[in-house]
A and B are shown apart, each in its own frame.
Chain A
């Protein structure tokens, strides 16, 4: 029917499957994000490090290229091992934190400040689907800059080095995948929780950084005053560093973590406590979301 024929008519056409409807949210959100030139440039820039890492892997296997630049001694400095991939994960994860701080606050707060949640939830669409839809925006973007290029690099190295290397270093691939997922899931949940509670976007973004840097400073103060190392439980980068080292190298690690996510020698907390702290943070974020994501807000 032509749209200018001003008649109301019921809808009798096909419906999309219920499980697929949450994908509507990331589709619209990504269209909106794409309009921001700054964000687009930043996001493209996050792929510089993976590109450099790919070049390094290539150079390690093609000495003739280094010889052409009279730089064959550099080959002795290149080691493609767990530290190489940990560094990669560390850099990309720090960039993911910036990305989460940029886009996270804008995901839920506009819906809350415009009372749009009642319209979302008045449809055959649950609160969980809403949160999963919003999470998927952040998770998709952060996946593409962390574990996806990480596994591609691993695959590239395995291709050049051979199947034996791949079999001997499969722990790196698992570590890349799981380590990145833990980090981006934590970031995404924190970003959404802060976005739901702090309606002013710049404040929510600042709070995201505050949680990482101020909390770690507070933890360091506790360590100094109490002469303990349990203050590191407030240091999220330390927690993640410990978990990553465990995932990459097992129970007998040789490295101290990744860039920005290092664990001071002798200050390592038991890994179970790091997992418990990260899971607690995730649980608190989910609780915060459950409190705010409602069709109507009841003021007691």
Chain B
């Protein structure tokens, strides 16, 4: 549980860390959209170089980002198998037991894998360099224009920040309860069906009880400090766009336009 790296903030000091979350979120959206334009290998090469520069500027290590892809490995492998079974176009590459694998299957998979890889890299860049709280501030601001059509921007942001805040707590709680039940002889890895159901039950019930307890405590604590949703609130932290934020946005936008152009010429 403790080695879960996907989407975790890494406390470092870098130009990327100091950037405005709004600029970072928008830049990420631009680049994510750019990935979906079929700009070919050259296009992906350019995006990869751009993202790598951000990773280097953000002082993130590539091994860390590779690690966060681990949960995706299974999915990628599954994709490859499915594609090999279904896609029968292109050059036949090789044959195993009268089953032929075609070049398109491999290339299609590679294409998807590269896209996924880039997407994970980009989102990791955002989540690893932006504090969860700053992220929600950014989301709230970006959603502000939509309040006119009834989108509760502040409530959504509050919801997200509370959910994020509880993730580490619940992970800790889960490990704690696992340990406590293991001390009582629960075996989570082996055992008969009935025993395993009992084992899972012995985790889920206490986890639910404590999650509800925490939610209630937090709601009470917030109310005690005068929180009322929908009310006008001032902010402790005021976001300000600076030169470097505009530059990041501009570069991301340029990348998006570039990819659109490239995909037209293909």
Do A and B associate with each other? no
Residues of A within 8 A of B (CB): none
Residues of B within 8 A of A (CB): none
